[in-house]
Copies of this chain bind each other. A is one copy, B any other.
């Protein structure tokens, strides 16, 4: 990732803070993002039927399209905690609102960590005043760090663009390393922008950007109960208000997508135990759904992921995963490329230099192209390999 200077505090009028409140043994675990004026806001949530409690509150508070603060903790997901958990999250939102002198309905809440344990709400409540005092324009990285669970690096980014004569800024922090699969990942992403943009344009741009980025990555096929992407747009850049179409919308959406892509790639590169970054392109599928099926079948195949880890050029496993994916194709038209080198042509192995294929598998970044020669459907999925370290990380998560 390129060097980040302001991150989520780059956009005008945004402040952030983070501290350790004792949910995790050490390290920061509680963070706050604040806009000095109420912002237009939108969110995308996990499609898991089991949604964590904070998301219920955030969903409700986003209904009017306005928000002014995000409070988030790591170390405990506050999920499957029933009514007591709901009361905990509501109390926290209320306490934050009071400390910031804003409406409780303008506070978004998010959590990540272990599922099924009561949140130590009193730890959080007793630290909120201190957290508010710590708000600054230099704490983006602290927030990114306070979101980390199995992440090994904090994830933040920023971009600037011109809308008319005005500079508009977008910043983001993200958390995610495992339990990553659309829609979406164990993933918290908070995006700030000083763009002046209508609620409907903001919602549309966020949905499109998320679909093209976070919904195209998978680490382990598991989808979290706590996933969310929030965006707050406070309008302080002073640009002409962006509406849901036109050139300014196009520029904003492009910038937002690039922010989301940077965060999505950062998550896959930080995938638990990963040693490889893998891009799977499915081309000429009967339709986009078929292309996605094939790409995800390959991306989630344990046999493919372990072969990638072992740098074993066992590409037959890739073909076998495509074969079981449900995508429509004829074997005698199936082509496959590894690192742009053709290994399969019309269902028959190409005349391959084995040493060359091995060299491709030894790289850190690997590209797999699967051409079904059936229609015009295309899809790309980003994923990682599966290593023994992934198992080390996940075999004793709560213990």
How many chain A residues sit at the interface, stated as a range, is: 35 or more
- Contact (Cβ within 8 A) A224 B320: yes
Task: Report A221 CB to chain B, min CB distance, Å.
Answer: 6
- Contact (Cβ within 8 A) B50 A116: no
- Contact (Cβ within 8 A) B49 A395: no
A303-321 residues with Cβ-Cβ distance < 8 A to B are 303, 306-307, 309-310, 312-317, 319-321
A395 to B327, CA, bound (A): 26
Say how many copies of this protein the assembly contains.
2
- Taking a contact as CB atoms closer than 8 A, the residue among B225, B303, B387 that contacts A323 in the complex is B225
- Taking a contact as CB atoms closer than 8 A, the residue among B79, B309, B334, B396 that contacts A391 in the complex is B309
- Contact (Cβ within 8 A) A77 B316: yes
Q: Which residues of B contact A83 (CB under 8 A)?
A: 348
- Contact (Cβ within 8 A) B301 A222: yes
Residue of B nearest to A306 (CB): B394
Task: Report A217 CB to chain B, min CB distance, Å.
Answer: 15
Q: Which residues of B contact A364 (CB under 8 A)?
A: none
- Taking a contact as CB atoms closer than 8 A, the residue among B49, B79, B80, B301 that contacts A329 in the complex is B49
Residue of B nearest to A77 (CB): B316
Bits for A184-207, please: 1 = Cβ < 8 Å to B, else 0.
Answer: 000000000000000000000000
A396 to B396, CA, bound (A): 26
A310 to B302, CA, bound (A): 18
Q: Which residues of B contact A320 (CB under 8 A)?
A: 48, 50, 79, 115, 179, 222-225
A307 to B178, CA, bound (A): 13
Question: 19 additional contacts, CB 8 Å, given A80-B316, A80-B331, A220-B302?
Answer: A47-B324, A48-B323, A49-B322, A49-B323, A79-B316, A79-B320, A117-B316, A220-B303, A222-B320, A222-B324, A225-B316, A306-B390, A307-B394, A309-B391, A309-B395, A312-B397, A312-B398, A387-B391, A388-B392
14 contacts between A and B (CB under 8 A): A80-B316, A80-B348, A81-B348, A114-B314, A115-B317, A178-B303, A179-B303, A221-B301, A222-B303, A222-B317, A222-B321, A306-B391, A310-B396, A310-B397
